[in-house]
């Protein structure tokens, strides 16, 4: 406590490290910080060292904080308090008493199930138009000099740019190629079940319901769930209980391809089992997989983690990757790599990107958050070079392998944070052009970041790269990406250099039938008023 008015998390962390204090986590508040430690010994040592120490002219004070309450206990306590007048409990019972477990799973997972597909597309289009209207207002506030231009577009299109089309998925059933299933207990049958949580642990439940009725699950995935569920029930081991941390079976990640092949990652809590006992479990799982045409099997033991500890799943049987065909190319997909969950709709998405990117043989593609390289590789034959950056190293290895497998030689993929690597990649493009005597080669940036959007620094770098005239931003949650859209478009300033971008076109591709979600595509160009 008693921290200075202005300080940075990085600076504070370095200060603590100089005092030989290693925190597990820190949460910065106004005037104070919550810090957690691996054990009581580390905590007590930190309290002793920090008491009365001076940081940036302020004498620090230290106080022992109460531990954060377990979310399930907190939920139960809140419910108990609400039960005094019976209102909260009555509302909850009224809401769920008429729904079976299967119906609850359907409502939570695929809320649009049962609606005609044309109606689903109409609802999604309305959502995207709402996003564009909000973006219109936000960009007008952030770039007031473009106000007249934005108003003219609003008159013409109802928003900052035209929404051209809501593109349907080629398939509306059995489309999902990846799911993570939880092992738990079905409260209706009291049986071990491999499926989806009925509600989140934070909401006060760790019950699990079946998934065989869900239309988006493929036949191969449905069969894999049945096989593992049958084995778990016969194993004599209980599902993991997040409340008291007892139990063994945690979850199963299942990936499938269009050929019906299956890759699975079985995750357990090792408890106090010896390495020999865990090896015995692995042997049993291998037999189950081999007997049921599962071509790749991984095993992951996840107990209480120490700070910085991150061990990948252990490959125990079959192929190390799943292979999928997309846009005439073959892609190897490792267990944890990002790959679009609807393969056939992803092909529609990539073809649309190729169309709107307006690339030619003199175009360099900057593929930001490239995953396993699917978008960049699908465009490689149409452009000069592809430069991709991805945080997950195994995905970058997959991207390089995919390029080699498909005989593509004009792609460079690097592992790292986009905000750290984008500048290096742009410098690399300039250097290559200089070496080859190419002048005026354009750069088109394709951005497919995680749900929360791009890092602020990445937006700043993209704006500052003068040769980037066009951006294609792909988002599965346009509302969450709103800040990134605004940062790319806001007026020029010391913090945001370069000519700002402006949206010129928007559309969406439905990769997630029976759900409210879709992939939103926003095309942006430099704002150059005539």
Which residues are known binding-site members for S-adenosyl-L-methionine? 340, 390, 448
Sheet holding 262-268, edge to edge: 208-209, 192-197, 178-185, 249-256, 262-268, 296-301, 314-318
Sign of the alpha-carbon dihedral angle for 471, 474, 478, 480: negative
CA distance 64 to 110: 45
The one catalytic residue among 369, 458, 459, 476? 476
| 249 DSSP assignment | E
- List the helix and strand counts (H, then E) for the chain: 15, 21
- Residue 304 φ/ψ region, left for φ over 0, alpha for ψ in the -120 to 50 degree band, beta for the rest: beta
Q: How many CB atoms lie within 10 A of CB 192?
A: 22
- Please give the radius of gyration of the chain, using alpha carbons only, rounded to the nearest integer: 26
Binding site residues, as ranges? 340, 390, 448
| 321 DSSP assignment | S
Place of tokens 């045409």: 293
Q: What are phi and psi of 475, to 5 degrees?
A: -145, 135
- ∠441-445-451 over CA atoms, to 5°? 175
Structure tokens belonging to residue 261: 């092949």
CA distance 439 to 315: 48
Among this protein's residues, is 383 annotated catalytic?
no
Q: How many CB atoms lie within 10 A of CB 207?
A: 17
Helix or strand (DSSP H, E) at 97? none
Sign of the alpha-carbon dihedral angle for 512, 253, 451, 423: negative
Which residues, at least 6 apart from 251, have a Cβ–Cβ distance to it below 8 Å? 180, 181, 182, 183, 267
> If we measure between CA atoms, which residue out of 221, 219, 195 comes closest to residue 208?
195
CA trace torsion 210, 214, 219, 221 (10° rounding) = -50
Catalytic residues: 476
């Amino acid at each position: 406590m008693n921290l200075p008015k202005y300080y940075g998390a990085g600076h504070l962390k370095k200060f603590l490290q100089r005092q030989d204090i290693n925190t597990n986590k820190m949460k910065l508040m106004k005037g104070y910080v919550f810090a957690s430690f691996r054990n009581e010994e580390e905590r007590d040592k930190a309290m002793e060292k920090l008491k009365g120490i001076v940081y940036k002219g302020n004498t620090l004070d230290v106080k022992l904080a109460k531990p954060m309450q377990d979310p399930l206990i907190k939920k139960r306590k809140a419910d108990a308090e609400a039960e005094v007048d019976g209102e909260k409990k009555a509302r909850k019972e009224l809401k769920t008493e008429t729904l079976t477990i299967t119906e609850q799973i359907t409502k939570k997972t695929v809320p649009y199930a049962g609606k005609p597909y044309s109606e689903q597309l109409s609802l999604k289009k309305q959502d995207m138009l709402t996003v564009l209207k909000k973006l219109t207002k936000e960009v007008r506030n952030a770039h007031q000099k473009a106000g007249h231009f934005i108003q003219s577009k609003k008159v013409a299109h109802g928003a900052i740019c035209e929404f051209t089309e809501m593109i349907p998925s080629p398939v509306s059933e059995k489309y999902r190629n990846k799911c993570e299933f939880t092992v738990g207990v079905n409260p209706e049958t009291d049986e071990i079940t491999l499926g989806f949580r009925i509600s989140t642990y934070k909401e006060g439940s760790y019950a699990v319901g079946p998934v065989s009725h869900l239309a988006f699950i493929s036949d191969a995935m449905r069969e894999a769930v049945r096989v593992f569920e049958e084995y778990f029930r016969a194993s004599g081991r209980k599902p993991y209980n997040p409340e008291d941390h007892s139990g063994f079976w945690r979850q199963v990640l299942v990936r499938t391809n269009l050929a019906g092949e299956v890759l699975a990652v079985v995750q357990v809590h090792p408890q106090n089992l010896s390495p020999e006992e865990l090896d015995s479990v692995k042997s049993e799982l291998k037999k189950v997989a081999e007997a049921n045409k599962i071509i790749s099997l991984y095993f992951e033991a996840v107990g209480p983690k120490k700070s910085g500890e991150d061990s990948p799943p252990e490959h125990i049987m079959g192929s190390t990757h799943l292979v999928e065909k997309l846009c005439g190319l073959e892609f190897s997909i490792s267990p944890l790599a990002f790959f679009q969950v609807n393969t056939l709709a992803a092909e529609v998405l990539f073809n649309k990107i190729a169309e709107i990117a307006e690339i030619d043989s003199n175009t360099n593609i900057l593929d930001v958050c490239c995953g396993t390289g699917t978008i960049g590789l699908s465009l490689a034959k149409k452009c000069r070079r592809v430069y991709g950056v991805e945080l997950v190293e195994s995905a970058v290895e997959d991207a390089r392998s995919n390029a080699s497998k498909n005989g593509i030689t004009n792609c460079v993929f690097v592992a790292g944070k986009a905000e750290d690597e984008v500048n290096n990649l742009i410098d690399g493009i300039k250097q290559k052009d200089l070496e080859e005597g190419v002048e005026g080669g354009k750069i088109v940036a394709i951005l497919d970041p995680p749900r929360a959007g791009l890092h602020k620094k990445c937006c700043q770098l993209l704006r500052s790269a003068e040769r980037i005239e066009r951006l294609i931003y792909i988002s599965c949650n346009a509302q969450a990406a709103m800040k990134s859209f605004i940062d790319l478009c806001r007026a020029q300033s010391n913090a945001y250099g370069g000519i700002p971008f402006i949206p010129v076109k928007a559309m969406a591709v439905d990769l997630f039938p029976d759900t409210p979600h879709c992939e939103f595509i926003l095309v942006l160009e430099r704002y150059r008023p005539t």
